[in-house]
Every structure is written in C-alpha cells, then in structure tokens.
Structure 1
C-alpha cells in the first residue's frame, strides 16, 4: 500500500480511542489522557462499552454509535476484539488505525490485515507505543512524556527505545516533526515511513532505529527516494553476532548480515551511525552542511591542547586536515601574533580578542574546499559572548562552512546559544565536532553511490551464457551443489573473467606429467574431488613444482595424505596448472553470496589462505558498474597497497574492478549461483587472473536480477524500430547518458522548454542532470529516443513518468527536439510509456499542460486523455489537467 492514507494517519481531523479508560496506569487511560492533554484540536471520541463517560466526556459503546467515522482509530482493546473492530471501522469509513494491542498471534494478525485491506485502511502496529505529531499536538501513544515540535522525524522498531528517546530528547530541547513506534510492522513499515517523510515539508531529516528489514527492494527503493530529498540517518541494532541473534529473537524476523546492511546503507545514500547520541549529532551536521562541498578541515583555536585533541581525532577517523599554503601562511602572519602555530591547527593564542578571530576567519574562509572548526576556551581577557556577537556578521554573510565548539559550560552558554541561533552546528568537545564532520564526509560518499544505477548486463563483458548453462545444468542433473575446480574455472572463463589454464588428469602421475609438460614447469598440483571443497585443509594443494621427478613424488604424497584425512572422499584425480608468477602481485579475494534479506551480495578484499584472519573486505550490492566497483575497492585496507608505494607499482585497479562488474553480471544472468569464491585473484600492474575458484549452485535459483535489492537497468525494455526511414532506438535512460542528455537539452528552444514545463533551462548542474539520468527504475521511468551508435548516438526526444509509491498514479512529461516537432516522435514515445505503465499495473497517467500548449493538448486527446480543470488548484485557468485511465474498469 505504501503511503496511501498515511496523511490521514498523521493528520486526522478526528480520533477515536477504543479501550479508553479511567483505570490508573492502564494503556487505554494513558492514551486518552495524552490525546486530551497534548493540545490536539481535532474531535476526540472515547469508546468503551463499560463507561457512560470518561473525565466528563461522553463515551460510546460501539463503532456504530459514533457520530462520524473517525479519521484515526487507536485500539487498546484485547487481541480477540481487534479483527472485528478493524472490519467495522473500515466499513464505516475509517482509513487509519494505531493498534497498540500486543499478543496477536499469526492467524489473528493476518485476519486483521485482510479486514483492513478490503477498505484500504492503514494500520500502525500492532504491539506499538503509538505515534506523536507535535506540531498538531497529536499524542496518540502511551508514552510517559510528550515531544516538542521540531524538524526531525524519528521512527523506531523498538517501543522501549521510543520512550527512552523521548525522555532523552526532552532534556536536551530536541524537537520532532513525527515520532513513530512501528511495533510489529504488520502494515506500515520502514519503507512506507520513508516514502511519507521523504516528501513531508515539516521534516528536515529522518532518523531511524532498525533491528531488521524484510522487504529489501521496497526498503531500498524508498530509502533511495527519501535520501535524495533530505538526510536519512540510521542506527541499526545487532552489529555483533550475539546482537543479531537477540534482534531475531526480539522481532521474530531473520536478521541479515550486519556488513551487508552497511553495504545497503551506503548504496541507498543514507548514513549509519553507531549510537543514539551520534544520531542527533549527525542530523544536526548534515542538515546544516548538506549542500556544502567541504572535504577537509581547518581547526581554529585559542588553545593549543584543544587543537591537538581535534587533530588526534581527525587522524583516527581519517579526516584530512587542510595544508595551509604559503600565501595563506603569509596572510595569517600579518594578522596573528608572531608566536602563532604557523600550521593547522591554527592556534591564535589564548589572549585573542574578537578582532583576531575575525581576521583569521577572513583569511581561512578563502579556502572554499575546507570547513572551519572554531574552538574557543573561555578566558578572563575577552568574554566569550563578545567574540560570538562579533562573528555574527561574518557567519550570516555567506555560505556556511563553520562548526562551533565552545569549551566549558556556564561561561560560554550565551556564546553557544548565539552560534546555534545563527545556524552554526555546535559541539561540546573537539572530538565530537571532528566525528560529526566525518559523518558528513561519509554521507557525501554515499550520496555519490546513490546516483549510480547500472545495468544488470554490461556490454563491456561478453558472456557465453550457453556454455554456462551447460555447466550448471550438468551439475544440477547430477544432484550436486559444488562445482569442481575445473567446472568453476570454465564457468568463470565463459563469463569473461581471466582464469589460469587448467588441465584435468586422473590419479596416474603419468597423466599429470604429460599435462605439466604441455603447460611448462613450474606447475601447481591440486587434488580433484567433488567431496573436497577447501583443498588446502587436507594438503591438497602444492605450488611451484619444478620438474617431473618432484611432480611424481608430490602426486604420491598428496594422494596418501588425502586418503588418510578424508577416507570417505572419492578422488577423481588432479588438476594441473602453470605456476603463475607475477612481480609485485597481490593476493585478493572476489566472492558472492546470497543474503537472507538483501539478496545477492558481492565481496572484495585481501585474499589468500589468511583471508579470515585478515578480515579485510568490503561488500556491495549488485548491479555494479565501474564507479561502484572502484568505490567498493576503496573501502578496503589493501586498496592502499594496490595504489602503489615506494618502488612498488600500482596494480591495475580498473582491471580488478572489471572482475567485480563481471561477477555482478554473472549473478544477474545465472540465478542458480548461491556462492562464489575467487581466491586468490592474483593482481599486479599487468592485470588480474583467477588462480582458484569455488562455486555453489542451487535449483531454487536464489540469485538473478529479480532478486537484486536494487532494481537494475531494464534492458528488456529496449526497442528498435524504423522511423522516417531511419533506425530508431527507444530505451530507458541510463546513467551514462548524462553528457548526451545535456547536449539534447542544449538543442531545445527556450519556448519549447517553457511550454512543456519539463526542464527549467537548457544548462543545468551536474547534480540535477544526474537525477534525470540516474533514476530508480522501481519508482520512475524515462524513455529516450536515439539514433546513431556509440559516440555518434544522439537523443531526439524523451518521455518521463514518475509513479507514486502506491503505483496508483503516474505523472508524465514529454519533449522532443525542437527541430523534430510535428514528426510523430512524441506520439511514439507516449505510446511506449503508456504500454509500460499498463504492464506494471499503474492505474492512471496524468499531466499538467499549459492551456496555450495546443500541440500537447492535441497529442493528449489523440491518445485518449480526458481534459479536466486542475484538481490541485480549481482557480488555475492557465493550465489543463489531462488524465488517461490505464487499467480496465478505471
């Protein structure tokens, strides 16, 4: 259902409380009291068959007795009553309910949902604390304390945490736009809340406490949409194995791998923090600095010790301190005393008057790529408030690049308040300020990944799907799960990955010697057995065999060793491969598995036999392209070695990234793959090659693009057709189209842009252009018509439709190149979009058209659109609203 009727849930005109009571300490009494005392101005109805009135307010016995269908029902009655109440409320016309009641079993919960869905009634809960909307005075909860109005939305899976957080926030003066306890999330879940709050004008940032996620694609799609609009910050419980087990026990849901959750957060443009305190710290910083571009820090302080503490924390968190160039140092020499620190941190000495701060800020502000951390320790020479007031004109004069840290308490309280009122984020300690800035840097990296939506299939990686299918089908036909090493390498080779040549021989040493002779010494010998997956564990791998005599000896020794340790294993023989010697080589691991929550996941890191001990790895969700693969590599420690150091040349990082992209494509094309390990992947400046591989498959087909948590590029929608004697391609827009799309916009006449109300101008910023080309295909679609190929391809027209989260209504815009108007191209693009939306079940397609745009209105009429007055503004006579029903019966 997503956001349908959530506006009624969070902004009801009337509320009925079922189970309202006067019994002290009861849930019904607490909810009723909170609603009456919270300042809510809507109509309130207590419902309880055992009372005639509660606190002087007439009480109603049943749903049918109420004077109207309440917009919102809060249910605090026993579990056995919930289903009938929901059914009666839905039939009466209520469209939202908060089910506080706990103890609903699986059957009762499903019956409740079935009763609600018949009337599209939305349910928050069950087993939840409730929710608060402070700017409406709405406290539909049994929390012990209310919340003050503000611009932060807090959504929690834990009810106990809701009450604790309310108490904590109240003591610190933190306000909220919404405060929501999701409970068991039978209906309204994190995805729904992200959809609703992402477009809520009263919410500046969204804070989430999560224990588990079930519908990963819905969650990721909603998160990516919300994160484009405002900061979304997450605390996820269950970081350790013990914590994950506890979370699963508490929620009754399977907790996914914490590392996979981290990868999902990065890919969706959100920020994860580890503590509730950091949740608010990050929210404050991101809301103030979100549009800035500062990537390094300058510390300005009147105390050397505080500066050192900031520098230490920056080093620990990987935050770069800006290096002051000679010109900056010279300018600072002119305004600071001779004994200033002449470096960063910039220590302007403890006796600094207000003017010294101003002069230093003026010089340092010229470095627009850096944020300034202002640290002040109170002195008896100059009152802190005087310094704060003197700096106010500088703060309000330009873009905000300043973080404040007033050390102390009462002596700096007024100065701290002055900074806060001026919009400067303020922190209690230097370490806290640096940590907040590190959140900002991480958040920006995640925002960059948010803008990438690659295809499931990469044209750069040829894949022999027929050969791969033959291998997979043979293994499954033999009722096996694990591919032999030769099979695994053949599969990788067919997928376009670099693999070392491998010969399969029987247990006879003579066969091994013949293979080694053809490959050339030195060689590597490995045991071949379908029952032995990790060959090194049983002495089944021998490297660098120099000649035939040594090879024969190793064959005999290896067979004896394996038979001793694994007498149950059927040994088919050996594999022989050349001993690959790469100068300056690194052992890496590339792998894939299927997470229980987020589906297919790709791993990269330091490889070799000590892979578990090193634990240097980064995970990413497919589909991957080169920018995303490179970002994944950068998240590992071994990346520093791959970049080169001293006399060690840099490895072919782009070649390594290409392997990751190829694995991503393999997971999309072959849904049977459940596990894949390439270890080691040997890489140096000349490239990379897979020396060993392990693949597990399953007939249940848990991988494949359909199971990706992020919808990949829908290549199946590409269409080739003839248009006016020319070959035309109509396809979904893709991230790589950015430059081509800009060229298209630049060829449009300004008047055409104005009439279509599609783009505001021909020249737009990269970030805005990226949002047009790097779209979430689960939420919107843009088809472009192109001619030509490769570098000569040009865009001739485009149609775009944005679908609401309920898949009820899509709003379109269409435009063709100005010199191609009247050629029927717009009609063809619209038919493509209409067909796509019908297939995905969208109910109607709508658009707003300027009345003077007769061409567009005529096109709409020819396609079957109906013209109506603007439903959002009946007094608007300049535009017309066009509507096309897409499904039978609508």
Structure 2
C-alpha cells in the first residue's frame, strides 16, 4: 500500500505533456487540447522536438529542457521510449506520471517500473485514458468530453467505460471530484487510489468499475478502510463468465467465480450494484439520504395500482413493509377520506390535494415503526402535480426520516421533480426504480452494519491438535498428496474440534465385516477410492446395515459395481462408520477452497446429495468471527429452517457457527489444505455431527496466514510478561474483546479519557468500539494487557499504532486502566508495541500528548522519544526514530 507522491498525481500545480502534437485525431493532440481547454491554472508544458509552439504555448524539445520541473507528466509517445522518459523525469524531480501509451510488453513495463522506483515516481497506467480533476480544471486525458465538477470519484479499469460514463454522467448533470482511468495498473492500483480517496475531502463517495483484482490483501485493506469513511460502490464485470471448474469438492468448483468477488466486496463493506445506471442511482439516493435507523418502508400513494406495484417490488427485493402504529392509524382516519385504504400502502385517493399529502406524510414521519416513506403520485386532471410535490417537499424538510418520491409521467412531471430534487428528495420515474433506490440504502446499511458489528465474547476456549493434523497431512503428501481418505479427513477435522462420526478403514471385505462387528450395528459402509469424487454416483454408500452378512453382501456388490462402472479406479478398501441416528436433523454443507485471487474462501449452505441442484449456498472470506459466521449462515435459505418451524425445534446455530470458525482456523494453520467439504454436516437441537468429509492437500507455496486476503489474528505475537508480582498476557486485540474493552473504557476516569482522546466522551459509541476492536492487522496493531478477573478476562491497558500506507511512520497511543497507573504496565505495553514497529520496518512512531499528562511525557522521555511543541495547539508532539530490528 502506498499513497506516496499521489498528491502530485491528483493535485498537480504544473503539467508536462510528452508527445504533444498538432496532428488531427492523434492522442498527443487530443490530450493537449483537453489540457488547454480545461481551465487548469498551472503551467502546461508541451514536449516534442518537432514543434516550437503548440496551442500558443512554447514547446520544449526534450524533457531535460523543460522550463521547470513538472509536478505531473503525461506520456503519449511510442512504447520503447517510455522507460527512458520516466528515468529522465525522475532525475529532474518529477514525482508523478500518467502513461497513456499502450503496447508496452512485459520487459518494457519492468524497465519503466525500475526507472520509476529509483526516483519514487508514481505511474498511472500504462494503456489508460488518463486522469481528470474537474475541481482544478485538469483534463489530462484523451476523453471526448470534459467532466463536470462534483463530489464523486470514478475509478475504472476499462477505458471504454471511462468515455461512456463521462458521456452518460454529463447528460444527467453528474459531476466528479476525480475521474481516473487505471489502465494496466502497473504501479498505482485500486488499493493505492482507495487509500488516497478515503482521506480526500473533495470526494463524498467512491465508484469503482472492476474487471479483476490482483493484489487481494492490499485491495481488501484499502477497501475496508475507505468504506468506513464514505460509501464505496462497485460494478464488477464478468458476472456470468465463471464456468464451474472440475474440482474434488463442491466448494472447489466455485474457486475463481464471481461469487467470490461478491463475498470480498461484502466483507469490505462495499455496496455492489449490477449496472452503471444503478451505480449512479445508488449514489444519488445515498448522497441525499439520511442514515436509516431500520428497514421498514411506508408507501403513500394517490392510486392503488402504483402502491401495489411498489409493494410487490419491495417484498420481492427482500424489503420490509412497515406496520403502522395505532396512533398513526387514528391520525390518518382524522385527515383522510372515508374511502382510504386503512393500511400500508396508504392510498389517499386520486383527488388528493397538496394538504392531504402533507397531513398523511406528517403522520407517517412521526411513526416510530416507519424508517422511510415512499410518496407516489399518479397524474390526474384534478390536482396539479406541482402542488403535490411542493407539499411533500415542505413537509419533508427537516424530517429525521428519509422521503423518496415517484411522480409518474413524462415531460409534464419535470417541474414537480425539480421541486423534489431541490428539496433533496431522491425521486424516480417508476415505483420499481424508487423501491430499488430504497433497497440500495438498505443494502448499504447492512454492509456498514456488517463492517461495524461487534461479535459476542468467545464462548470458551477450544483446543486444537495442530501437530497431529500436520502429521496426517504430511503422511498424505509423502504419498503424493491429492485426496485424503474419508477417515483421514475426519481425523484432521476432529483435531480442530469438529464433531465427527466414528469412522474406520478396512482394506478388504472381511476386514470391513470385523470392523462393523466391533463398532456395533447398524453401520454405514462407503467405498474408499482416490479416484471417486462422489461416492453415491457409483453406488458407493450403503446405510443401515444391521448384520455381518449384510455388510459382506454390500461390500461385495459395491466392489463389483465399481469395477463395472469405473474399471480404471483404484479401490483402497472401505470405510465403516456407526449409523448416526439424528431423525429430523438438517443436512448442511461446510466447505473451503483456495481462490486464485482472494485465497481461502469458506462455503456454507444446504447439503446432501442434491447440493448442486438446490444451490443454496453463501461464501465468505476468512478469518471469521462469530458475527461473521452467523452472517454467512443467515445469507442462505436453509437458515430459516434452522430457526425451527411447525413444532420442529430450532437447530443449534451456535454449534454450526463454531464449525465455521474452526474451519477458518484450520485454513490458517494448514496451508496444504486446498479443498474441503463436510457434506452432510447434520445439525439439530443437540448440536452438529460431520457424517462425510473430503479433503485434498498439496505442498504449500506459503504459510497459511499469508494466503488470506485479510490477515488473520497474529497468534505468534502473543507473549506472557511478568508484572506486579504475577503475569499478564500481552496480545493483539480481537473483535471478541469488545465486551471487556467496553468495561475497560467504563473504568477510566474522565481525566484519563481526555488525556487519550483530547475530549470528553462519557460513553463509548458502538461504532467506535467496533473500530477499536476490529482492526486490520495488515496496517495497524493494538496490543492489550489482559488477565483473568473475577468475572472473566479483563483488559488492563492497550497500546495502539496505525501505520501510514507507505509503512514509513505510525501514529501511536497508549492508555492504562485508571486504577493501575504508575505500576509499569504502560512501559510493558509501549515496549511491546515498539518492538513490533521495528520488526515491521517502520522508521518512526509519532504521538500527541497533553502537557498535563505528566505520566505519558515521563514514559516518552524514558524510552528515548523527542518531546516538543505540537502544531496542534495545546499539545506536545512525541517522536521516536526507530533503528531497524536486529536480524
């Protein structure tokens, strides 16, 4: 991640155009015309040895003869010239380059990047349309139209999308803060741009057009950070180009699919839409709307038909129709005609004047059970549409809830829609579009909730036998890897606390009979062959065998079937397992595979032999916590069955979630696991039980955690330290620490809160609690000191460092529980944090402290910090230069 020198790219004070031309329709001529016509106030310096002047500007014959060092250079010269030009520009002191040139092969790209890195030059492109910053009049592109100024940043991998969206947006009066064509993203990529835009005050929302993601962890870190500060919306192309691949597991077939991108966008807190039009419609709705308190919509209409259409669209999209409170119904009875609908949708009849709209809308906006109101107006000859629109606009002004509108009709509705738009009311052409707009608000709310949701405290520690699991996998790799036997796969799962049915392996028919007698009847018999993906396809599963002769007969028949159907398949024997008597249990599937972009991905859904046909499944990126695991379960249809129905008790969903958490841990520990299916996983009120499992392994290319698109909990950073006559555990904070972190905050004195936050904060808002406990270990760290207390684990202190995207410096902060100050705990925590920062390669740590925070200033002096006056009035600046960690 790096935003270094991106200010020269996105906010330059001077621009050089290398390859400027006057040849009609050439890129050099088009870019020059755009630069000159955009209104850019800084210097514009064309470069080309063939000309003395262009567009009334003097032309430099070469980069070295430019009259001044440009902040930004734009290159549109032949591919072979690009690396040398980047080197020359870097030597001059230019720090940002847009390479519009296409056709650079791999060797030229590498030479270009090598030249750029020597001088810390940032490169946008190559093979891009260019860059537009309308707020400063910069149009460094060959786009056919300029962009209007606005608050949206549009970032696209597709050049065609850049020009198409510019045309589309301009015709609708939509403006931009930044309009960025990424091209090949050889240097500046989505992660860099998202990091920059997250803190860009000129940008209210970020819109992405994505074709593929390359640096998954960088992308996810930047996207999660940006989505916490402003809406990030994404259109991803290629939704139906996946083509399920052949795989050893059901989950493996989804690797590389669009469903994985969906899971990644969801985990990052981004809102995915399907079309460009939806993208801008969603922005319009979100930009003008207020945060939703809930998802319940009331519909106010002057015609029954539009109200029914809106209701159908709402229910079909998974929305919620509000139930009106009794006092709202009484109020509506007082102001509406006797023929009104007496329910939601609220039909106020076709002759409704503006006052009736106003009175009904006011009643709905005062109902605590209503989170948004959609007002529909069908044209009539009785009431002018402008009158109704003005009444709605006046009533909605200052309301705490969102009001959306749909004035049906054509040109005659334009003045009414203008009144609504001026009042900040998002309005749409049809009821279905209005409901879609509302659902975008709902989906954005859900995305933000998922990003900020605080998981419950851990329900207790569980032990894993990592070494035994590694030994099983190691033995399999010595055989050549591939598919583990069912018993081996189940043993690995058992090492991670997943309940499995007892399973034994027999290499011959008679051995299977003996094992069945030992286990006890009835038993299940299954074929064991590395060449069979789905045993039931070859009659390789027989259940409820009640006797030794029945086992013998089934095994012999199974062997004959295999030889007849697949004579080339290798028969390793049979597995024998006790029959699991769980009448009424749900059959689920839990799976994992490795996606080529995002690494490990976890699947959950309805299982059984018809798993592909039912296709009830959801995907998530690990690592998971309890909140994320429950969210994954809740995104499937089978979740409603697990909740219980018609006297059937609810299944133990917490036990299902625990299986997902343990698979997440297994994937971090065991990078050799490539694919995994537990199918079926039985789930009922008594818990869960894995009946069948398959697992494929291969030599690992990297450590388990390194494969994850989101860095998992760094367990290796835990350490015990002697303190106060006993010991404390110093470890990274986890999302599950939220309850004890809230208790820790509550134990701080107001003065200590002010010392830490520079302001009074009597209570800790849930969003802030989530922000402090759900950290991205890739770019920040918070170490807590914890020990067991009378009511469970307790947090005693925390030291936190947030690194800049360039990994040069980090801002730090530290606080100890008020009743434990002055006993050396702060020094323990800060020294731990500094060791981590050195190991990470940071060059310095910085902090702020109030002058009266004498303990903090004393600790800083003790640890070698420079202490001086801060630029922030009334505080002291703490700075420590870090020596590299010893190797």
| TM-score bracket for the superposition, by shorter chain length | over 0.9
Correspondence for 1:283: 283
8 Å CA contact retained: 1:375, 1:407:
yes
Distance 1:272 1:624 in 2: 21
Correspondence for 1:663: 663
Correspondence for 1:313: 313
Moved more, 541-550 or 670-679: 541-550
TM-score by structure 1 length? Answer: 0.95
> How much has 1:106 moved relative to structure 2?
0.2
> How much has 1:195 moved relative to structure 2?
0.5
Correspondence for 1:525: 525
Moved more, 727-736 or 768-777: 727-736
Distance 1:795 1:530 in 2: 50
Distance 2:643 2:413 in 1: 46
8 Å CA contact retained: 1:519, 1:577:
yes
Correspondence for 1:251: none
Moved more, 818-827 or 199-208: 818-827
Distance 1:710 1:290 in 2: 31
> How much has 1:494 moved relative to structure 2?
1.7
Correspondence for 1:597: 597
> How much has 1:869 moved relative to structure 2?
4.5
Structure-2 change in CA distance of 1:790 and 1:164 (3 Å)? farther
Matched, 1:442 2:443: yes
Distance 2:244 2:807 in 1: 34
Matched, 1:880 2:881: no
Correspondence for 2:411: 410
1:317-336 deviation line (CA, Å, top 9, x unaligned) = 11111122433222211111
Correspondence for 2:736: 736
Task: Name the SS for the 1:699 alignment partner.
Answer: coil
> How much has 1:430 moved relative to structure 2?
0.9
> How much has 1:404 moved relative to structure 2?
1.7
> How much has 1:668 moved relative to structure 2?
1.2
Distance 2:476 2:779 in 1: 38
Distance 2:783 2:71 in 1: 40
Task: Name the SS for the 1:188 alignment partner.
Answer: coil
Correspondence for 1:258: 258
Moved more, 733-742 or 3-12: 733-742
8 Å CA contact retained: 1:758, 1:814:
no
Structure-2 change in CA distance of 1:696 and 1:758 (3 Å)? farther
Correspondence for 2:483: 482
Correspondence for 1:497: 498
> How much has 1:458 moved relative to structure 2?
9.6
> How much has 1:201 moved relative to structure 2?
0.9
8 Å CA contact retained: 2:500, 2:691:
yes
Distance 1:737 1:11 in 2: 41
> How much has 1:531 moved relative to structure 2?
3.3
Task: Name the SS for the 1:651 alignment partner.
Answer: coil
> How much has 1:735 moved relative to structure 2?
1.6
Correspondence for 1:750: 750
8 Å CA contact retained: 2:242, 2:257:
no
Correspondence for 2:349: 349
8 Å CA contact retained: 2:477, 2:698:
yes
Moved more, 136-145 or 580-589: 580-589
> How much has 1:887 moved relative to structure 2?
3.7
Give 5+ residue unaligned stretches, structure 2: 246-253
> How much has 1:150 moved relative to structure 2?
0.8
Moved more, 703-712 or 688-697: 703-712
1:92-121 deviation line (CA, Å, top 9, x unaligned) = 100000000000000100110010011111
Correspondence for 1:164: 164
8 Å CA contact retained: 1:748, 1:762:
no
Structure-2 change in CA distance of 1:717 and 1:432 (3 Å)? same
Correspondence for 2:424: 423
Correspondence for 2:251: none
Pairing 1:545-560 to 2, within 5 Å after superposition? 545-560=545-560
Matched, 1:134 2:134: yes
1:168-206 deviation line (CA, Å, top 9, x unaligned) = 001111111111000000001111111011111111111
Moved more, 195-204 or 701-710: 701-710
> How much has 1:833 moved relative to structure 2?
1.4
Distance 1:122 1:742 in 2: 42
1:667-717 deviation line (CA, Å, top 9, x unaligned) = 111111000011111222222211111110011256722211111222222
Correspondence for 2:382: 381
Moved more, 43-52 or 578-587: 578-587
Say how many residue pairs are matched.
Answer: 875
Correspondence for 1:616: 616
Correspondence for 1:52: 52
> How much has 1:728 moved relative to structure 2?
2.0
Structure-2 change in CA distance of 1:581 and 1:161 (3 Å)? same
> How much has 1:759 moved relative to structure 2?
6.0
Structure-2 change in CA distance of 1:458 and 1:24 (3 Å)? farther
> How much has 1:275 moved relative to structure 2?
0.6
8 Å CA contact retained: 1:212, 1:255:
no
Correspondence for 1:152: 152
Matched, 1:472 2:473: yes
8 Å CA contact retained: 1:97, 1:121:
yes
Structure-2 change in CA distance of 1:579 and 1:822 (3 Å)? closer
1:194-226 deviation line (CA, Å, top 9, x unaligned) = 101111111111100000001100000000000
Moved more, 482-491 or 408-417: 408-417
Distance 2:303 2:230 in 1: 36
8 Å CA contact retained: 2:454, 2:627:
no
Correspondence for 2:66: 66
RMSD: 2.2
Moved more, 485-494 or 235-244: 235-244
Task: Name the SS for the 1:619 alignment partner.
Answer: strand
Structure-2 change in CA distance of 1:757 and 1:524 (3 Å)? closer
Matched, 1:843 2:839: no
> How much has 1:255 moved relative to structure 2?
9.8
Distance 1:274 1:626 in 2: 30
Moved more, 379-388 or 457-466: 457-466
Correspondence for 1:249: none
Moved more, 267-276 or 851-860: 851-860
8 Å CA contact retained: 1:300, 1:373:
yes
> How much has 1:748 moved relative to structure 2?
2.4
Pairing 1:628-639 to 2, within 5 Å after superposition? 628-639=628-639
Moved more, 820-829 or 51-60: 820-829
> How much has 1:363 moved relative to structure 2?
1.5
8 Å CA contact retained: 2:292, 2:442:
no
Moved more, 210-219 or 518-527: 518-527
> How much has 1:268 moved relative to structure 2?
0.8
8 Å CA contact retained: 1:133, 1:139:
yes
Correspondence for 1:34: 34
Pairing 1:216-295 to 2, within 5 Å after superposition? 216-241=216-241, 256-289=256-289, 291-295=291-295
Distance 1:388 1:827 in 2: 64
Correspondence for 1:833: 833
> How much has 1:638 moved relative to structure 2?
1.6
Moved more, 277-286 or 94-103: 277-286
8 Å CA contact retained: 1:742, 1:763:
no
Correspondence for 1:365: 365
8 Å CA contact retained: 1:237, 1:243:
no
Give 5+ residue unaligned stretches, structure 1: 246-253
Pairing 1:183-198 to 2, within 5 Å after superposition? 183-198=183-198
Structure-2 change in CA distance of 1:652 and 1:404 (3 Å)? same
Correspondence for 1:248: none
Pairing 1:645-664 to 2, within 5 Å after superposition? 645-664=645-664
Moved more, 31-40 or 796-805: 796-805
Distance 1:758 1:718 in 2: 30
Distance 1:761 1:52 in 2: 64
Distance 1:255 1:138 in 2: 42
8 Å CA contact retained: 2:255, 2:595:
no
Distance 1:654 1:111 in 2: 54
Correspondence for 1:694: 694
Structure-2 change in CA distance of 1:688 and 1:821 (3 Å)? closer
Structure-2 change in CA distance of 1:35 and 1:48 (3 Å)? same
Moved more, 789-798 or 95-104: 789-798
Correspondence for 2:541: 541
Distance 1:751 1:454 in 2: 29
